[in-house]
Amino acid sequence: MRPRFALTAAVTAAAAVALTAPGASATTTAGPQLRPAACQEKALRISATPGGQQNTARITVTNEGDRVCAVDRVPTVTFRDLDGSAQPVPPATSGVRLLAPGEQGYAAVRTAAPGTTEGHVVRGLSVAADPAHHGVTFGAAAVGMADGIRVWEPVTTLWHGSPGAADRALAAGTR
C-alpha cells in the first residue's frame, strides 16, 4: 500500500480555476462568485456499511454544513496497524470534489480479492474525506466482516453521486 499525500497549494489553485469555469454545475464547481473552502471535518458525517460482496464496504460522506465545500475526490481509507491507504481505481491523484449542503458522496472499498488467503487481518478501517482529516474508524463488524478485515492490495473508488455508481466503478476497476 502506498500513502497518498495531502492536497497541495497547486491543487487548491487548480480548484479555484475550475470554480470559475463557465457553465459549471453546482456539485462539481460553484461558479465565478463562490470559491468553496475545504470542508471542515466537523461539518461532515462519514458512514460505512457492508458492501454486499466479500471483502467490500460502502462508504458515504454527507456535507452537514450550510455551505458548499470541498473534499478530496479520493477518500482516504486506512487500516488499523497497517501503513498506507487503499489505492484509487481507476488510478487517480488528489483533486477536488464539491459537496453542496446536504449532498452525499459514495465510494466503494475492496480490502482484498474474494477468496484470498494472503494479507493481514485487522479489526478496523478508517475513512477520511480529506487526507488532512483524522477520519472515522469503523470496526470489522460494522462493515460486515465480523471475523476481521482481510487486507491485501486494497482499492477504493472516487466519490460518486450514488451507491450504484460507486459499486460499478469498483467492479470495473478490479477486473
More confident residue, 95 or 4: 95
pTM of the model: 0.81
User: Is the confidence at residue 125, as pLDDT, over 80?
Assistant: yes
DSSP assignments along the chain, one per residue: --------HHHHHHHHHHHT-TT--TTT---TT--PPBPPGGGEEEEEEE-SSTTEEEEEEEE-SSS-EEEESS-EEEETT--S-PEESS-----EEEE-TT-EEEEEEESS-TT---SEEESEEEEESSTTS--EEEEGGGGT-TT-EEESS-EEPPPBSSHHHHHHHHHHHT-
Give residue 66's pLDDT.
Answer: 96
Give the pLDDT confidence of 7-54 residue by residue, as tens digits.
333 333 334 333 433 333 344 444 455 568 999 999 999 999 999 999
Cell of residue 98, nine digits: 464539491
Angle at alpha carbon of residue 75, lines to 103 and 24, rounded to 5° = 45
Give residue 175's pLDDT.
Answer: 84
Give residue 174's pLDDT.
Answer: 87
Q: What is the mean pLDDT of residues 53-77?
A: 97
